[in-house]
Amino acid sequence: MKDQNLEKELKQMREELEQLKNKSWSERFKQKSSLFKGIVIGLSLTTFIAIAGQITLTHTFTAGNTISASEMNTNFNQIVTKINDMNKGVYVELSAVQNVTCDSTYYELIVDNVIEGDGGYNTANYTYTVSTTGLYNVTWAYDTSHTSTYIEVLINGVTSMGGVKKLNVGDTVKPRVGCSSSMGPTSSLQTTGTFFALYKVL
């Protein structure tokens, strides 16, 4: 009976892992927090789908096997490590309205309100430093009535657009904002819809 119960638990664990692999970055954060922290984390990136790498477990079991606690713990630890590896990135918002002078010059995007992250984001210089090599999706949004506003990022100081990027340990990613004067002298970025985010997808 004990072996059967352990087999059921292992099957449930695998099913939950498959569900995690098909969830968005923010949803994985929510479920991970519920499972391991007991905290429900709310993020708004529900449309972004992240791809989880294949997890190979050390021990496999079949009906009739004797299952040891140490083998189960080894498998669980491998799953936890992989989930932690998937949850790399940051989601950060403006803490106050940012007024940008529209002179076709780029300015720092003052996103200093970290909603969720892995500790790699510096709110003093609005820069994320990569701690794990992989593919990251870099994205942002802004809320302003000034339609000539634009945002880009600097990756290691070089201009780049958003999307999936190969980032290595130590790489830096920093958003910046600019606007032209065709729609007025100032663009006011609102706190409710302006954010910068990046998250590991593979």
**Tens of pLDDT, residues 48-89:** 333 334 567 777 777 777 778 888 888 777 777 666 666 789
Can you tell me the distance from the alpha carbon of 174 to that of 130, in angstroms, rounded to the nearest whole number? 11
Question: Residue 46, CB half-sphere, CA atoms under 13 Å: how many?
Answer: 6
8 Å CB contact between 107 and 137: no
**Domain final residue, candidates 34, 63, 86:** 86
**Tens of pLDDT, residues 131-149:** 999 999 999 998 888 888 9
**Tens of pLDDT, residues 150-173:** 999 999 999 998 899 999 999 999
Angle (CA) 48 125 27, round 5°: 20
Can you tell me the distance from the alpha carbon of 61 to that of 137, in angstroms, rounded to the nearest whole number? 36
Q: Could you list the beta-strand ranges (E) of 42-200.
A: 89-94, 98-101, 107-108, 111-117, 121-122, 127-129, 134-141, 149-155, 158-160, 163-167, 172-179, 186-189, 195-200
Supply the range of the domain harboring residue 175: 89-200
| Phi, psi (deg, nearest 5) at residue 89 | 145, -165
Whether residues 102 and 30 fall in one domain: no
Whether residues 69 and 116 fall in one domain: no
**Domain final residue, candidates 86, 118, 153:** 86
Whether residues 52 and 73 fall in one domain: yes
Whether residues 103 and 184 fall in one domain: yes
pTM for the whole structure:
0.64
Can you tell me the distance from the alpha carbon of 45 to that of 50, in angstroms, rounded to the nearest whole number? 11
